[in-house]
């Protein structure tokens, strides 16, 4: 599998488990270890572009470091009542203990 399919190799699964949030080199994207699953998402908060690499993951949600909004890591939904769009999520694959993500935004239901 190469770059032509739009997939990029991010890091070892063990590194993500140790660090919880890992920045994707050269892209404004993150991978997150969330309750036994790997989630890929954009790095800038949809509200006012705070750096979500500095956020916290608890109970299945990514909490923005700047304001009180958080995002459901299953579907990107933002906290109820916030006037911003959901967080963009990206497809993930694990191959030989390496994490790969696809650069095309995940479609609902994929
Ligand atoms: S910038 Fe993230 S909640 Fe405001």
Number of Cβ within a 10 Å radius of residue 59: 10
CA distance 79 to 72: 8
Ligand 1 near 45 CB (within 6 A):
yes
pLDDT confidence of residue 107:
79
Tell me the pTM.
Answer: 0.92
pLDDT confidence of residue 105:
84
Q: Which residues of the chain have pLDDT under 70?
A: 1-5, 108-110
pLDDT confidence of residue 2:
47
Ligand 1 near 69 CB (within 6 A):
yes
How far is the centre of ligand 1, averaged over its atoms, from the C-alpha of 54 (Å)?
Answer: 12
Q: Which two tokens stand for residue 45?
A: 């908060």
Domains of the chain: 3-99 (2.102.10.10)
Ligand 1 near 88 CB (within 6 A):
no
Cβ contact 51:104 at 8 Å: no
pLDDT confidence of residue 100:
98
- Ligand 1 atom at minimal distance to the Cα of residue 64: 2
Q: What angle do CA 71, 76, 40 make, to 5 degrees?
A: 100
């Amino acid at each position: 599998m190469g770059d032509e399919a739009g997939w990029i190799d991010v890091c070892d699964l063990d590194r993500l488990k140790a660090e919880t949030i890992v920045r994707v080199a050269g892209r404004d994207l993150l991978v997150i270890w969330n309750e036994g699953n790997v989630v890929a998402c954009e790095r800038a908060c949809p509200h006012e572009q705070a750096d979500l690499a500095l956020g916290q993951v608890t109970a299945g949600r990514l909490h923005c470091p700047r304001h009180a909004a958080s995002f459901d890591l299953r579907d990107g939904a933002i906290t109820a009542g916030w006037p911003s769009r959901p967080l963009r999520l990206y497809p993930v694959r694990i191959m030989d203990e390496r994490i790969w993500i696809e650069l095309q935004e995940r479609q609902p239901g994929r």
